[in-house]
Structure 1
Amino acid sequence: MARQELARLLRDYRKRLEPAEVGRGRGRRRRTPGLRREEVAEQAAVSVDYVVRLEQGRGPNPSARVLESLAGVLRLDAAERVHLFRTAGVSPEPPLRPPHRVGQQVEYMLHRMPDVAAVVTDARYDVVAFSPLADVLLGDLRREPNLARRHFLNCEPREISGGEEFELIAVSRLRGSLARYPLDESLAALVSELRTESRNFERVWRTAPVRVPSHRRKTITHPRVGPLRLNCDVVPLPEDDQQMVFVTADRGSSEEQALHRLRR
């Protein structure tokens, strides 16, 4: 174990976190940046003394369980998590679950594009962030945030056509996610539910498709503006194993005018 390097990493990761990111108020007496050691210890379910010794380069070899807990508390992305494990001399195990939080810069981007309907989905197809226009266009994303469940189990609040290619992409992505996160019980439960409750999902699942997202066209029928023929483009966010989906209208089209009306 590279004790001094591990100590530096833990200090740097702790100090870069804003208390608000983990539900903590800054408070009047908080004079140093980041989280306090006590706060890290509490959320990681270890003693404060243990965190102190690790940050001073004199702690014991941390177990994989402790490293996993620290990685979660410190909001490490996939690359940082692997680096933390290797610095501690521990082989990184498969992540327990896909990242469910969205990066701060991605969150900012969503609110800087008022004319674009955009959503960010994690490896389970849960929507983890969305632009205001996406919520208006696609229906209540908080009520049922999982796009695979919405499609295959007829939970779509809007009539959407042109979803055949999405079915191949979704099944391919969920197969890959299940292989990357074999310990994620919620992901396994989702796939089991879809295979049991949707004949269409089971049929596609048995073909084991290999598909990556590409430019697609789909028609979304909105109760206020009627059918809209729209573009659907996907940008991968590989660091967090997520995807950002943009739904846009052709410039100068009647669909573009309809999206403006929905935004207002």
Structure 2
Amino acid sequence: MDNRELAAFLRGRRESLLPAEVGLPGGSRRRTPGLRREEVALLAGVSVNYYERLEQARAPRPSPQVADALAGALRLSAVEREHLARLAGHLAAPPEEPVPDEVRILLDRLGEPAYALDAKHDVVAWNELAARLITDFSRAPDRNALRLAMRTGVCSSPDGDFARQAASDLRRAAVRHPDDPEPAVLARAMAAVDPAFADGWRSHDVRSRPVLRKRIHHPELGAVDVDCHLLAVPGHDLRIVVCTAEPGSPSAAELARLAGRQPE
């Protein structure tokens, strides 16, 4: 268990939770954002001293029952509950697995640009339309989507959601694969050049955004705005990213031309 990671995650979730969200009065004398430590301890049924030591990285590992109680007190999502369980040492690192055949088949059958990412944002499978829109992954010396974006500027996100989601993904990857230094190395590189990523990394927010807006800078098509739909692959540490554009938009017309279809 990484005590400092666990402490920072609990503190971040506590500070982001409003008293009204757990049925407590807000009051006007709160000096810090979110819930107080004693309120979380009360909701979880643990002693205030123990919870304070958890946030100070000085407490022993919480049992599965205590971790579950803390998850309930902090109103954690399913993704956040899994992250907490891994921080507490209750789940083993998932094994490295080849890309399932059904994922490759799905990518080939989709009529939109799509690719598969592992936990570290390495592109491990893709269809022809994704290669035409983003890059020829088969010839790319580095297929990591984040390093590719940093190095070439091929993808951007005006609202910063892409960077914040990347921070969330790498934070989870660092915990899911504690013996792999790559997520932390990549996170430091991203934080040095992207303020939105740095903010997301500091917050320890591991929630998932199901759809992200990206701008693809294509050498021939110009700027193409796409919605990236993130689909988890059950039983695997993979996600499928499907790129679509708003119907009737100039970007949708460009995607149609890329695929050899008539724009709608």
How would you bin the TM-score normalised by the shorter chain? Answer: 0.5 to 0.7
Equivalent residue for 1:218? 214
Could you tell me which of 139, 142, 145 is aligned with 2:143? 145
Describe how 1:245-256 pairs up with structure 2 within 5 A: 245-256=241-252
Structure 2 CA distance for partners of 1:120 and 1:258, relative to 1, 3 Å: same
Equivalent residue for 1:94? 92
Structure 1 residue 218 displacement after superposition: 2.7
1:174 equivalent in alignment to 2:174 = no
Equivalent residue for 2:77? none
1:198 equivalent in alignment to 2:193 = yes
Cα separation, 2, equivalents of 1:111 and 1:218: 22
Cα separation, 1, equivalents of 2:97 and 2:187: 17
Residues 218 and 231, structure 1, Cα contact 8 Å, conserved in 2: yes
TM superposition score normalised by structure 2? 0.55
Structure 2 CA distance for partners of 1:199 and 1:111, relative to 1, 3 Å: closer
SS in 1 for 2:223: strand
Structure 1 residue 122 displacement after superposition: 0.4
Structure 1 residue 199 displacement after superposition: 5.6
Equivalent residue for 2:109? 112
Residues 98 and 124, structure 1, Cα contact 8 Å, conserved in 2: no
Structure 1 residue 193 displacement after superposition: 4.3
SS in 2 for 1:116: coil
Residues 98 and 122, structure 1, Cα contact 8 Å, conserved in 2: no
Aligned length: 168
**Partner amino acid, structure 2, of 1:109:** L
Structure 2 CA distance for partners of 1:140 and 1:157, relative to 1, 3 Å: farther
Residues 174 and 181, structure 2, Cα contact 8 Å, conserved in 1: no
Cα separation, 1, equivalents of 2:188 and 2:97: 20
**Partner amino acid, structure 2, of 1:258:** E
Residues 98 and 123, structure 1, Cα contact 8 Å, conserved in 2: no
For structure 1, the 5+ residue unaligned runs are: 1-91
Cα separation, 2, equivalents of 1:236 and 1:245: 9
Cα separation, 1, equivalents of 2:130 and 2:155: 15
Cα separation, 2, equivalents of 1:181 and 1:175: 10
Cα separation, 2, equivalents of 1:224 and 1:259: 12
Structure 1 residue 171 displacement after superposition: 0.8
TM superposition score normalised by structure 1? 0.55
Structure 1 residue 215 displacement after superposition: 2.1
Residues 138 and 157, structure 1, Cα contact 8 Å, conserved in 2: no
1:241 equivalent in alignment to 2:237 = yes
Structure 1 residue 166 displacement after superposition: 1.2
Cα separation, 2, equivalents of 1:119 and 1:251: 21
Cα separation, 1, equivalents of 2:201 and 2:233: 24
Residues 171 and 206, structure 2, Cα contact 8 Å, conserved in 1: no
Equivalent residue for 2:60? none
Structure possessing the higher radius of gyration over alpha carbons: 1
Deviates most, 186-195 or 220-229: 186-195
Could you tell me which of 257, 260, 263 is aligned with 1:261? 257
Cα separation, 2, equivalents of 1:149 and 1:100: 22
CA RMSD of aligned residues (A): 2.6
Identity %: 30
For structure 2, the 5+ residue unaligned runs are: 1-89
Structure 1 residue 167 displacement after superposition: 1.2
Cα separation, 2, equivalents of 1:118 and 1:111: 9
Cα separation, 2, equivalents of 1:150 and 1:182: 24
Residues 94 and 182, structure 1, Cα contact 8 Å, conserved in 2: no
Structure 1 residue 145 displacement after superposition: 1.2
Residues 162 and 214, structure 2, Cα contact 8 Å, conserved in 1: no
